[in-house]
Amino acid sequence: GILSSDKLLVRRQAPRAINEIASLQGALNTVQPALDRIPQVWYPPRQPAPSMGLPSLGSTLQGGISDDHAESLYGRNFLATPGVFWVVQPTPLPGQDPKDVPEPKLHCLAAQLQHRVPCWGYVFQEAEPAQPDVPRRKVCILGDTINSAGIAPLAMGCDVISHEATFSKGMEDKCRVAQHSTGWMAGAFAEAVQAKQLVLTHFSARYTRLGGPEGRSS
């Protein structure tokens, strides 16, 4: 296990700013042009968006549809916070001497992802290289997301990234409503952060095991 103890106390941590860490700000400066080239299919509520088969939330509200109805179309109005991250680390149990908390074998950072409800991405990196003269391995695991830009500087150069691929390319309208990603979007993000390997997860039930979507081409 990562820790020798079978108990772990988790406490809420205040976020830290990306621009306060020189290495992360440098990673953000590097990855931002690639992120900017990825077409966006989702826009924050009550802001105009290009027509993609559905009206923007702003135009919907101007048309007299209630907030509740708009929310049913576009999901809850959760907005991921950009430019910040969280350090996930073991905390002493009540009455435990901090010196008795073992050093973790992995460092873990977290950032918010854009989805209808709060979702997170995590980056795990070895505290020490597994072998001499070998870089510390880094893995990025993302939850439900339509936009993962907040974790991009943390994930930069990761060995493996796990990204959802709920829909196929051409189904961006559904992505916009459900706030999920296409396989193409996952690949574009993995390329932007220079991930060495990409693992796709969270496929829609419309896809069969061996073929494409039932009743339509992928």
Distance CA 99, CA 136 (A): 25
- The least confident of 57-61, 115-119, 131-135, 191-195 is 57-61
Q: Which is higher by pLDDT, 95 or 161?
A: 161
* Residue 28 clears pLDDT 90, i.e. is over it: yes
Instruction: Give backbone dihedrals phi and psi of 166, rounded to 5 degrees, phi first.
Output: -65, -40
Residue 108's CB: how many other CB atoms inside 10 A?
A: 15
In this structure, of 143-152, 191-200, 203-212, the range with the lowest mean pLDDT score is 203-212
Q: Which region holds residue 133: left if phi is over 0, alpha if psi is between -120 and 50, else beta?
A: left
- Of 13-17, 32-36, 68-72, minimum mean pLDDT range: 68-72
**pLDDT one-digit tens code per residue, 51-95:** 333 333 333 333 333 444 444 444 456 889 889 999 988 777 778
- Cβ atoms of 209 and 175 closer than 8 Å: no
Confidence band of 115 (pLDDT split at 50, 70, 90): very high
Distance from C-alpha of 138 to C-alpha of 106, rounded to nearest angstrom? 9
Reported confidence tier of residue 110, pLDDT bands at 50, 70, 90: very high
Q: What does the alpha-carbon distance between residue 49 and residue 35 come to, in Å, rounded to a whole number?
A: 18
As a whole number, the mean pLDDT across the chain is 80
DSSP lists the bridge partners of residue 114 as 147
**Predicted structure pTM score:** 0.76
pLDDT 10s digits, 163-193: 999 998 899 999 998 999 999 999 999 999 9
- The DSSP bridge partners found for residue 160 are 139, 197
| Number of neighbours of residue 94 by Cβ within 10 angstroms | 6
User: What long-range pairs does 19-23 form, CB within 8 A, spacing at least 24?
Assistant: 19/83
